[in-house]
Amino acid sequence: MNDSVTGLRNYLVVTGGYWGFTITDGALRMLVVLYFHQLGYSPFEVAMLFLFYEFFGVVTNLVGGWVGSRLGLNLTMHAGMGLQVIALAMLTAPDAWLSVGYVMFAQALSGIAKDLNKMSAKASVKLMLPQGANAQSRLFKWVAVLTGSKNALKGVGFFVGAALLSLSGFRNALWVLAGGLLIVLVTTLFLLPHNLGKSKTKAKFTQIFSRTAAINWLSAARFFLFGARDVWFVVGLPVYLYAVLGWEFMQVGGFLALWIIGYGFIQASAPKLIRKSQHDMGPDGDTARFWVLLLALVPAGIALALMYGLDPAWSLVIGLSLFGVVFAINSAVHSYLILAYSDRDKVAMNVGFYYMANAGGRLLGTVLSGGVYQMWGLVGCLWWSVGFVLSAALLSFALPAHMRTQSVSGNH
């Protein structure tokens, strides 16, 4: 079997495993939101149950890349799946055990699991890519499909979680998800090479912080990009739809699920949506700057529409649709650039560092979303989002244009 066929086979195995994990991740989030809402938790209290989920994502991404480079991405990927099975099983405990602290601990395990799995899957794409002509363009397509399909399936997971809760109840739903993921874990464990992503030299712990300027600037921009989404999307938007517009809880969940599915499809289609001057070149710093500046116009437009009394439901539906399209392209460009900027032997650590910034932005956005909404409402959340996007744009001006990476071309 030649390198091209082997690389494609391994890519499909990783993608399939990532899909299986992602469905459980989306389903678990919906199960927790719906079930604890039924138990009488307020929307803000439900959001706080995910605080450790986001916090430990920061820690996991920081350390996970280093561990993956030393022990291999196969191990870290399947450790993530195993922790998710444990987290799902923990929540099958009796209601008397389901205190806030207990649930937050289970969600912390799930957050560690998610970021171990995500870091491993995305970093491994670089290592599976056959080198040669059009390598950068192919890398962009592979990353976009992996990331976009994952986000679409997370939306599917929302539906799966709600359906399982209705059909089988909270605990049976958790056992179904845990059993399904365990099957995926065992299958992919034996199909992937055991030394995948293991560095030829033992990386020192101090090397978890990138010394490449482009990666540092990109990671900083990523921090504000994802903070800009979550500062209004996590708490402010669902609470506004539920409390101000009077939507039913399932309408809110269904709408957000459809948004995430559509966002995933756009992300997967990003290579076709972005016209490149040369067919064999992927996006560069100029691409990132253009799309992030365009993104700033969307939350600003929604905020102005709400401030000037336009129909809030239509303003949000149209605005969210535009935001999803432009944000998905921004995310796809960033996900490509972190791999393009990374040497093959350091890809796990660089991706871990980069997604640490991603998780940090999500954590800050999650916390601010509740506090800002409480003080200034959804309009306030949207203006904070504009500020975060402009911060990401400012940092993006340091990204190089048409950077040729040794790792993509294979010239070490």
Average pLDDT over residues 16-24: 90
Confidence of residue 313 (pLDDT cuts 50, 70, 90): very high
At 207 the pLDDT is 53
At 126 the pLDDT is 66
At 49 the pLDDT is 81
At 408 the pLDDT is 38
Instruction: Tell whether pTM > 0.85.
Output: no
At 93 the pLDDT is 92
Q: Is 132 helix (H, G, I), strand (E, B) or coil?
A: coil
Confidence of residue 343 (pLDDT cuts 50, 70, 90): confident
Q: Which domains does the chain have, with CATH numbers?
A: 3-409 (1.20.1250.20)
At 279 the pLDDT is 43
**Helix H or strand E encompassing 393:** helix 347-396
Crossing angle of helices 3-38 and 170-191, in 10° steps, is: 170
Closest CA to 257 of 160, 356, 383, 391: 160
At 81 the pLDDT is 95
| 337 half-sphere exposure, CB direction, 13 A CA radius | 31
pLDDT in tens, 357-368: 888 898 899 888
Comparing 273 with 348, the larger pLDDT belongs to 273
Cα–Cα distance for residue pair 95/252, rounded to 1 Å:
25
At 69 the pLDDT is 67
At 120 the pLDDT is 81
pLDDT in tens, 61-78: 777 766 766 777 778 888
Q: What is the mean pLDDT of the chain?
A: 82
- The first and second tokens of residue 168, run together, are 């089988």
Query: Are 142 and 11 within 8 A, CB to CB?
Result: yes
- Give ∠ CA 228-233-239 in degrees, rounded to 5: 140
Cα–Cα distance for residue pair 203/289, rounded to 1 Å:
32
Closest CA to 296 of 258, 265, 330: 330
Average pLDDT over residues 8-37: 85
Query: Are 54 and 115 within 8 A, CB to CB?
Result: no
At 157 the pLDDT is 87
Confidence of residue 206 (pLDDT cuts 50, 70, 90): low
